[in-house]
Chain A
Amino acid sequence: MKFNRLIAGILLIASAGAAGAAPSAQAILAASDAIRNPGKPFALTVTLVEYRNARQVDGNTLTVYSKADANSGQFRSLIRFVAPARDANKLMLKSGNDLWFFDPSSKASIRLSPQQRLLGQAANGDVVTVNLAKDYQAQLAAEENVLDGDRQSRRCYKLALAAVSPDVTYHHIEMWIDASNSRPVKARFYTESGQLLKTAYYRRYQAQLGVERPTETVIIDGLDPNWVTVMRYSDYVWRDVPEAWLQRDYLPRFKPE
């Protein structure tokens, strides 16, 4: 558990010591990252269901293999499409902004820009693991009660996150993190001009790989709130992927058992 909770605890204590009473915003964010993201290489299944006006319009199943980069601390991910049948066995590799798509039928490895989306509403960066504390500078904006994804009132730190480099998916983020246990509760993602892109609720907390983690994210479009994507995470397993596999040239080879 212990490892992640311990780290989260140490970060909180260390920052609390430095600041007097309240933990630093960056430490709160790092602690919440540790709840969302396992601390060792892992694999999981992501199932997406997309709604328009309360009607299901799309569904996808993906298997995601993630491993943190030893230098940057940011995750690199291999994403394998499982369903629908049309897309089965297609692959995506995401290593920072290096994004490749591979289709086994045509053997074509195509480089994608971060703006190209393969999964409808969800940005490519949404389906993979991201350590926000590596990409964003956090400031404590408020401490307030908000309703979580289960409509329960939670005492939360409200953090204002600003991107530290221009090559991340979102320019700035508002994030609410449970003050009692560092669980991410809710986030709002914005463009540079301040337009709300989407709202996300983190919910269905379950014990996965030793920590209570959110196993569902509900994404609501910023412009059209009737556009909703439910992302559910299952089949968590510790799974190391050799460094040599996380490159374009291995995509035609990638075939997990």
Chain B
Amino acid sequence: MRILALFLLAAMSSPALADDADAAALLLADKTTMTAEQSSDWHVYVEAAAREARERGANPSLHGTRTSIDARFDQTFAPGWRAVFADRLDMNRMNGVSGNQDINTLKEAYLSWQAQPDRIADLGRINARNGVAFGYNPTDYFRSGALRSIVSLDPASLRENRLGSAMLRGQALWNGGSLTALYSPKLADKPSNADFSPDFGATNQRDRWQIALSDKLSEALNPQWLLSGGAGQSPQLGLNLTALPSDATVAYFEWSGGRAPSLAAQALMSPDDTAFRSRVSSGLTYTTPNNISFTAEYEYNGAGLHEAGWNALRRGRPAAYALYRNFVANLQELPTRDNLFLYAVWQDALVKNLDLTAMVRHDLVDHSRLQWLEMRYHWTRVDVALQTQLDTGQPGSNYGALPDRRLWQAVARYFF
């Protein structure tokens, strides 16, 4: 009894641990063994996908599979010297359609020389990407012709699975700013459909150049200015700007402007209608306390068709319509003038390691809509995902004309 009393006295006089939960957590930490992983120059994954596409009308569903290998190598092989290589092979097998083929995408292959910490030169095929917006990037001047194999319409996938352009690039940096200049020469006349073609005809059909300048004006303001031009076009000026209105909100503004013919005039060889045209993509990303990020973006393409022109094209010759759609898709442009883009990402949605991503593209001119949803669960080395896409709208509308009305895709990815 006396021992018990002494024990209780000792327990009362000792400082109390905040609560039992803290003690349990510390015990868990005691038992934790961890090994710090080493970084690797290689980043490789294989992906297997099965898809079902339901076309419009009474046609039967199409089924198909895809196997992909994606590899990226990035090594510093001597002081100041770096080699980068990124390649992807998509092996498509779609039942009941012709044109099943393997498509290799040589994304990047270049050498980089850092002569000084703040002076760098690169030579080779480089994915030179600009733009702070999510769904439409008017200042991403090297996106035209860059898509060789589309495996998903998720903007993140379109950014990742694309061809770089062959170029010579130099960059100078200083505290809070940088200047980049690049020259991308003409190397071929037309794109190639050959399975393993590096396809310089898709990305290097004409001489092009670009200058980019960033300089921090204040803690809150760090704009990027771009000037881009090339054979057969007037120089285009670009601007990228971001701001932080609150600790949960990022605002962004992307603009490109310059004298240019309309997309219709270029695609249909119509009389020259060159004028000063702007393209804008601007929006907000808001993150909730439980880490759901919502993005709303307004997209304006001053070279796209306004309502009257778009309706006339839809009701006109099918060949002209098809020509325009293909031309615009190849440039990764918007066919119409006004669009809305909504995007939401929920990391660890209800269950740890389950990510939900949803996207809506809404054409404000013809009111057609593309809806895309992905559920992705990941383990340490394996991802599994289920994606679905629904395209709605009038026949001939931006999204109503897509061949598939409903698309399902199951994906499994293994990271080495």
Query: In the complex the two chains form, is A253's CB within 8 Å of B247's CB?
Result: no
Q: A85-B416, A199-B18 are in contact. Are A61 and B25 (CB under 8 A)?
A: no
Q: A58-B352, A88-B40, A255-B74 are in contact. Are A151 and B173 (CB under 8 A)?
A: no
Q: Does B176 interact with chain A (Cβ within 8 Å)?
A: yes
Q: Does B28 interact with chain A (Cβ within 8 Å)?
A: yes
* Alpha-carbon distance A247/B21, docked complex (angstroms): 41
Which of these, A63, A116, A235, A255, contacts B293 with CB under 8 Å? Answer: A116
Stretch in A14-22, A34-42, A130-138, A142-150 touching the partner: A142-150
Which of these, A111, A144, A232, A248, contacts B214 with CB under 8 Å? Answer: A248
Q: Which residues of A contact B98 (CB under 8 A)?
A: none
Query: In the complex the two chains form, is A106's CB within 8 Å of B219's CB?
Result: no
Query: In the complex the two chains form, is B291's CB within 8 Å of A86's CB?
Result: no
CB-CB contacts below 8 Å: A196-255 with B: 199, 201, 203, 216, 218, 220, 225-226, 228, 230, 232, 234-235, 242-245, 247-250, 253, 255
Q: Does B325 interact with chain A (Cβ within 8 Å)?
A: no
Stretch in B230-238, B268-276, B306-314, B376-384 touching the partner: B376-384
A70 → chain B closest CB, angstroms: 10
Which of these, A89, A108, A201, contacts B74 with CB under 8 Å? Answer: A89
Query: In the complex the two chains form, is A247's CB within 8 Å of B176's CB?
Result: yes
Query: In the complex the two chains form, is B117's CB within 8 Å of A111's CB?
Result: no
CB-CB contacts below 8 Å: B145-197 with A: 156, 159-160, 171, 173-178, 180
Which of these, A49, A109, A112, contacts B32 with CB under 8 Å? Answer: A49
Q: Name the residue among A47, A120, A144, A247 with the largest chain B CB count within 10 angstroms.
A: A247
Q: A82-B37, A120-B348, A244-B175 are in contact. Are A220 and B25 (CB under 8 A)?
A: yes
* Alpha-carbon distance A117/B347, docked complex (angstroms): 9
CB-based nearest A residue for B172? A244
A176 → chain B closest CB, angstroms: 10
* Alpha-carbon distance A249/B242, docked complex (angstroms): 14
* Alpha-carbon distance A120/B290, docked complex (angstroms): 10
Query: In the complex the two chains form, is B250's CB within 8 Å of A112's CB?
Result: yes
Q: Which residues of A contact B348 (CB under 8 A)?
A: 120
Stretch in A2-10, A25-33, A96-104 touching the partner: A96-104
Q: Which residues of B contact A88 (CB under 8 A)?
A: 39-40, 43
CB-based nearest A residue for B249? A113
Q: Does B287 interact with chain A (Cβ within 8 Å)?
A: yes
CB-CB contacts below 8 Å: B238-252 with A: 242, 244, 246-250, 252
Which of these, B26, B36, B82, B219, contacts A151 with CB under 8 Å? Answer: B26
Interface string of B189-228 (1 = CB under 8 A from A): 0000000000000000000000000101001001010000
Interface string of B119-132 (1 = CB under 8 A from A): 01000000111001
Q: Does A180 interact with chain B (Cβ within 8 Å)?
A: no
Q: A47-B36, A58-B353, A253-B120 are in contact. Are A105 and B214 (CB under 8 A)?
A: no
Q: Does B11 interact with chain A (Cβ within 8 Å)?
A: no
Q: Does B72 interact with chain A (Cβ within 8 Å)?
A: yes
Interface string of A59-92 (1 = CB under 8 A from B): 1010100000000000000001011111011000
* Alpha-carbon distance A18/B114, docked complex (angstroms): 52
A137 → chain B closest CB, angstroms: 19
Q: A116-B293, A250-B173, A255-B74 are in contact. Are A45 and B25 (CB under 8 A)?
A: no
* Alpha-carbon distance A83/B160, docked complex (angstroms): 20
CB-CB contacts below 8 Å: B397-416 with A: 415-416
* Alpha-carbon distance A188/B397, docked complex (angstroms): 56
Query: In the complex the two chains form, is B352's CB within 8 Å of A47's CB?
Result: no
Query: In the complex the two chains form, is B247's CB within 8 Å of A83's CB?
Result: no
Query: In the complex the two chains form, is A220's CB within 8 Å of B287's CB?
Result: no
A115 → chain B closest CB, angstroms: 4
Which of these, B36, B74, B129, B242, contacts A45 with CB under 8 Å? Answer: B36
Q: Does B17 interact with chain A (Cβ within 8 Å)?
A: yes
Q: Does A190 interact with chain B (Cβ within 8 Å)?
A: no
* Alpha-carbon distance A199/B120, docked complex (angstroms): 45
Query: In the complex the two chains form, is B244's CB within 8 Å of A257's CB?
Result: no
Q: A45-B36, A111-B250 are in contact. Are A151 and B17 (CB under 8 A)?
A: yes
Q: Does B38 interact with chain A (Cβ within 8 Å)?
A: yes
* Alpha-carbon distance A218/B27, docked complex (angstroms): 10
What are 26 residue pairs bridging A and B, where the CB atoms are less than 8 Å apart in the complex? A45-B36, A47-B35, A84-B380, A85-B45, A104-B43, A105-B43, A105-B72, A108-B129, A108-B159, A111-B244, A111-B250, A112-B250, A113-B285, A114-B247, A115-B247, A117-B291, A151-B23, A201-B26, A218-B29, A225-B22, A225-B24, A225-B25, A228-B28, A244-B174, A247-B176, A253-B120
In addition to A117-B347, A147-B17, 18 A-B residue pairs with Cβ atoms within 8 Å of each other are A49-B32, A54-B24, A58-B352, A58-B353, A82-B39, A89-B43, A105-B72, A108-B129, A113-B287, A115-B288, A144-B15, A147-B16, A147-B18, A230-B28, A230-B32, A230-B34, A242-B117, A250-B178
Residue ranges of A at the interface with B (Cβ–Cβ < 8 Å): 45, 47, 49, 51-52, 54, 57-59, 61, 63, 80, 82-86, 88-89, 96-98, 103-117, 120, 144-147, 149, 151, 153, 166-167, 199, 201, 203, 216, 218, 220, 225-226, 228, 230, 232, 234-235, 242-245, 247-250, 253, 255, 257
